[in-house]
Structure formats: C-alpha cells, structure tokens
Amino acid sequence: MEQNEEKVEEIFVQEGVLLLSGPASHIEYMKLTGTLYITRYEKHENEYSTIFIEWKPNENLTIDSDIQDQEWAVVNTVEKRTRTLSGSLIPEEANRSKYLRVNFDTIKSFKVANSGRKILFNDGRGDVICTFSFQNGNSTCFIASLRQHIKTAPSRRDKNLYIVVGEIGNNDKQIETSFKTLSLFPDDHNYMWSFVKNFQHRPYETTMEAFAKVTNIGNYFWNYYFLEYLIVYNERPLDDETKEVLNKSIIAIESATTTHTQDDYEVVANVPKLPDRKDCPRSKPLTKEQWLDLQNCEGKIEDVDGIKLLIFRGGVTPSLRKSVWKYLLNYYSWESTQKERDQVTKDKKEEYYRMKTQWMTMTKMQEDNFSDYRERKSLIEKDVNRTDRAYDFYAGDNNPHLQLLNDILMTYVMYNFDLGYVQGMSDLLSPILYLLQDEVDAFWCFVGFMEKVLSNFDIDQAGMKEQLQHLHTLLAFTEPELSTYLDNHDSGNMFFCFRWLLVWFKRELNQEDVMKLWEVLWTGLPCQNFHLLICLAILETEKRALMDNNYGFTEILKHINELSLKLNVNFLLNKAEGIYRQIEEATHANDNVRDIVGLPKLENGNMDSPNTASFTYLESSADHASVNIDTNEVSYERGISNSYL
C-alpha cells in the first residue's frame, strides 16, 4: 500500500528492448520486447540505492482482463516467495508485477556485448540477473544516462565491463555513515591501513571477513565503496606502493566475483574452487533382517534415523518395499506400534471409502451442475488411459488396474478439492499402486507423496518456478561455467528441467529405477531439496555435450528431453551426494546456496569462525587459486592480519 504513494521519477526510457534472460519469476516475459527504464524512487529502508532499472513488456492486448489479472497475480506470488533469494526484487502490487525491477544495490557490474546491442547485469556472485537486447539502436544512450546517476569503474580486464561503485550524489555521505557503522577501525587510521595491506595478501577473504560482519547486503559493493574511500577521502597521500596494492586488490576482487561472457567466448573468472568431490558409493539395500532387527517387540522402530540412513544409502529390498514405503510416505508413523498401525489401517480404510462414496453417489444432475468436478473427472479419465500403459500391470483394454488408478485419483479430488487433479499426479500414483496393489493403501501413500510435492502443483506454478530458480542458483555455484553458458543461450530459466522436477524423474527412468530413486528421496537425506542435486548431477554429466556442440535453446531442450531412459540412478545418486558434500564444506558457499539445501547460514559471512579461519586461510592461501595475487609477496602481513582479527 505504501508503494502506491511512492513517487517514481523516470530518468531514462528506451523502447524496443528485448528481455533475453531474467529471474524465473519473469519467465513468461523472456523474449518479449518491452521498454527499459532507469527510475528513481524515494529511499527505502533497506536499500542504499534509489536508482533502479525497470523493464516492462509491451502490451498488445486482445485478451480479456480476467486472464490478465490472473497472470499478474501469478508473477506476484512468485516474487513474494523468492524475495529472500533475489535480493531487492521488490514485491509489487499485482498490476505492476510485470515490471522487472532491480535495485542498484543488487547490481554489481554490467557488461556490454554485441557492439553495444546487448547488456548484462551481474549480481557479483557469478549470476546474471538479467540480459537485455536493444532492438532499435544500441545501449549507448542508456549507459550514458545511467552513468550520470551511478558511479561506475571500468574493469581493468575488460573494457566492456563496468563495475558498479555506487550512486552519485549521496555517495559521500553514505560512505561516511557506513564506515562509521562499520566501527571496525573507529579512530585509528593505522588500523585501517593494516587492513588494506591485507588485501594484498588475500583480498577476497579479507573483505569478506570484514564486511560480512556488518552488513549482509552485497559484499562486493562495499569493496568498492571502501577502496573509493581510501583513495578519495584519506588524508594520507597514496604512495605508489599503496596504489598498486589497491589496484591489485580491485583486480583480484573482480576476478573472484564477476563472470565474463561474450558471444563467442566464455571465461568464467576465478570463482573460488569447490572442495574436492568425494566418492559416495551406494550400499546394499535394506534387508528384511535389518528391518526386523530394528523393531522392538511391539513392532516399534527403535532407531528411525539409523533406518533412514540405511535406506538413503542403499534403498530397500524390493520384497520389503510394501512395508517400508508406508512409513516413508507417512501412512504409518515411525514411532507406531503394530497395534496402533492396525488401528490406523482400519480407520483410514473407513475414511477412504467415505470419500469414495461421495463421488460415486453423485447423481447425473449434480454432475451436470458442477463443472469443476466434471472437468477434473474427464481429465482423469483421459490421463489414466495414458499412464504407464507399456507396463504389464496397466496394459490392455479394460485392465482393472486402470479403474483403480481412476478411483484413487477421483477420491483424491474429494480429499483435496482445491487442488483437484493436476496432470502429473497419475505419474506419481502409478508406481505406488503397482507396488502396493491395494486401493486404500495406495491412496494414503499417494496422499503422503503429494504432501511432499504439493507445491509442484500450485495453481500459479509458483512452486515449480521457485524450484527452477533454486536449481539455477545451485548450478551457478557448482557449475558456473555451465550456468553462464545456459544464461547466454536463453536457457537460464532452466525450463528444460521442468519435467524432471514435476514428477521427480518419473518420465526419465524405468519403473524399477523410479522406485529406487523415490525411496531414497523420501528419506529427506542427506539434505532438503536433494532432488535438485540429482538435477545438478545430470547437468554436470551432460555439460560437455551441451557446450561442445554449442547447443542453443531448442537443442538444449531436445537433448534433455531425449535423456529419458538413458540415466543411471546409482551413478547419479553417488554424484549428487558428492555435490552435497562439496556445498556443505565449501567455505565460500553463500547463504542462498546453503539455504536451499537446508544448511544453516554461516554466521560470519562465509567463515565458520573468524579467529581460527584466519589461520587456516593464511596457511592454505596457495590453494586459493581464486586470488590472483602473488602469495610470496608479503608474508609478514600474517602478523598484522592476526592482530586485526
């Protein structure tokens, strides 16, 4: 509501600008032509910059307002949900959400390509926030106007890259106040100077350590403020040596934080390396003996975590699945006794048939007057006929198992009418029914599975969009080269992974493998969103094929679609777990990445504990290929660094 009274000053407007890539929330606007603005808003509490770039698609309206509203509402929801991820993408009121709006707090650098016809905005963490293509003319005027309001520094390495330093005008004051709040070196300039010297040795870590303490808005942004401050505002004259230190620092920070791209070559700059990949071999499946051993005399599972771990490591022996899946899918609670389970079975059976009767007894007249219901019913009928018919269990005309599929899905409609039936659900049910071969059990286990993937079926697809965005964030961290490649080939929205995620690889694997994978994923180990790491494992495997063939948007989609039934589950699980361990151990993993897999935020920015970590870093600075500074240069800085911390 407050935003309604907000004043917007349009500083610059350019028509005919195509959105080439952007956040997943704006997936439906990609490739659309629109208008690019530079705008200034009144200052917001959490933002230091008042300058935004905004982009809005052209409207060629021939659609009733009804549909439109829905559309905007969709985007709006997504923005709200992903706000924490996308920094200052501001949630807007519904009818403005088609604007792509990015604050200059978020933009750390921008790059001009294609003789000025393309411009990429970077977030400084290796991700491209958005890319625009100028259809009429080029970006010269836009950049000229931008530079009247945003202070930029040309990159030392790439003349087409501009580092965002800050906003012109309130810059000076901001720096002052922000360094006061830093209060790291309150009155003592020598103290500050020792800090500067540290740049020489390990610029990336030094700044991270220092600034992560005070602020969680873009660290790199502050690097520039800080260096600016030293150069411009310091009373002490800069000697050549110090100048060089600062210059080197800037280059090193640039290297560590920006991704360079151009149409004909791609260089991913020295992003800090991930720890080595561990081999995580699979174990034997959970056996009947183990399963019985882990239950006490009442039939209660004694060591739930232990059993989950066994399942995660090796899956479940096929003959045991029938029992174990009921726990994994929350039909039975792990803590229940045999007696309690018998009761649950009885109660759930009654409940199921009560719901089933509701739709079975619907009269023709009721149905005629109930279009939502009719629609669902008819789609279920169509989809049941198209579900896993190649498998014996569902093959042939009038196969009774098809009727069961139909009845369970219809009853689910009554169980959760708001959700109803969404395409994809029959794929999720099919293996469960095949395994359990019992209508009631299959229904409740299906309910349990749906509970885990409910957001895949959101009316506005917000859950799917969010996952695609998460996947991109993870990929940018583990495979920056591939992620950049995808961004530059119109595939940064990760849409080609949609089918994988919607039905958890059901269409990509044969029946046995689907069951193997799902039971592992249902354990929730080793981390949340582990299915996204399976995606990473596949993408990593296909990386060379995609990049060496220089595949574009359509070829990428085709290649990924055609992986169906060519994947090896054990190999992927091994790899995905290895990727998880890397993320877990990576000291430079940002909080976005850690958050997605459910790791706690690192309290001091990216350091576990500043005191001990400073030693580790110094000791192992040679490993940090990220920092292009000659490590032999000044080793006495160790002492200073330690005393500073």
Ligand X SMILES: Nc1nc2c(ncn2[C@@H]2O[C@H](COP(=O)(O)OP(=O)(O)OP(=O)(O)O)[C@@H](O)[C@H]2O)c(=O)[nH]1
Enumerate binding residues for another protein (CB under 8 A): 1, 3-5, 8, 15-16, 27-35, 56, 58-64, 67, 71, 74, 93, 95-96, 136, 375, 378-379, 382-383, 385-387, 389-390, 422-424, 426-427, 457, 459-461, 464-465, 493, 495-496, 498-499, 502-503, 507, 552, 554, 557-558, 561
Residue length of the chain = 645
Burial level of 32, CB count in 10 A (0-12/13-18/19+)? middle
Contact residues for ligand X, defined by CB under 6 A: 382, 385-386
Least distance CB 423 / ligand X (angstroms): 6
Q: Which is nearer to ligand X, 269 or 557 (CB)?
A: 557
Contact 38, 145 (CB under 8 A): yes
Least distance CB 565 / ligand X (angstroms): 19
Q: Which does 372 bind (CB under 5 to 8 A by kind): another protein, ligand X, none?
A: none
Measured CA to CA, the distance from residue 573 to residue 223 in angstroms comes to 39
Which backbone phi and psi does 375 adopt, to 5 degrees?
-60, -45
Measured CA to CA, the distance from residue 383 to residue 15 in angstroms comes to 45
Q: Which is nearer to ligand X, 236 or 382 (CB)?
A: 382
Q: Which does 547 bind (CB under 5 to 8 A by kind): another protein, ligand X, none?
A: none
Closest CA to 644 of 206, 163, 211, 93: 206
Packing angle, helices 553-561 and 530-548, rounded to 10:
120
Query: How far is C-alpha 8 from the chain's CA centre?
Result: 31
- β-strand 109-113 against 161-167: which pairing, if any? antiparallel
Least distance CB 31 / ligand X (angstroms): 22
Least distance CB 387 / ligand X (angstroms): 10
Q: Which does 64 bind (CB under 5 to 8 A by kind): ligand X, another protein, none?
A: another protein
Q: Which is nearer to ligand X, 113 or 384 (CB)?
A: 384
Could you tell me the CA-to-CA distances from 1 to 6, 97, 243 in Å, in that order?
A: 9, 14, 49
Q: Which is nearer to ligand X, 147 or 374 (CB)?
A: 374
Q: Which is nearer to ligand X, 427 or 508 (CB)?
A: 427
Measured CA to CA, the distance from residue 254 to residue 195 in angstroms comes to 19
The torsion angle over the Cα atoms of residues 336, 338, 340 and 345, rounded to 10 degrees, is: 110
Measured CA to CA, the distance from residue 154 to residue 171 in angstroms comes to 18
Q: Could you write out the DSSP letters of every residue in 488-519?
A: HTT-TT-GGGHHHHHTTTTTTS-HHHHHHHHH
Least distance CB 389 / ligand X (angstroms): 9
Q: Which is nearer to another protein, 325 or 500 (CB)?
A: 500
Least distance CB 26 / another protein (angstroms): 10
Least distance CB 377 / another protein (angstroms): 12
Q: Which is nearer to another protein, 79 or 167 (CB)?
A: 79
Least distance CB 532 / another protein (angstroms): 17
Q: Which does 31 bind (CB under 5 to 8 A by kind): ligand X, another protein, none?
A: another protein
Q: Which does 60 bind (CB under 5 to 8 A by kind): another protein, ligand X, none?
A: another protein
Q: Which is nearer to another protein, 73 or 182 (CB)?
A: 73
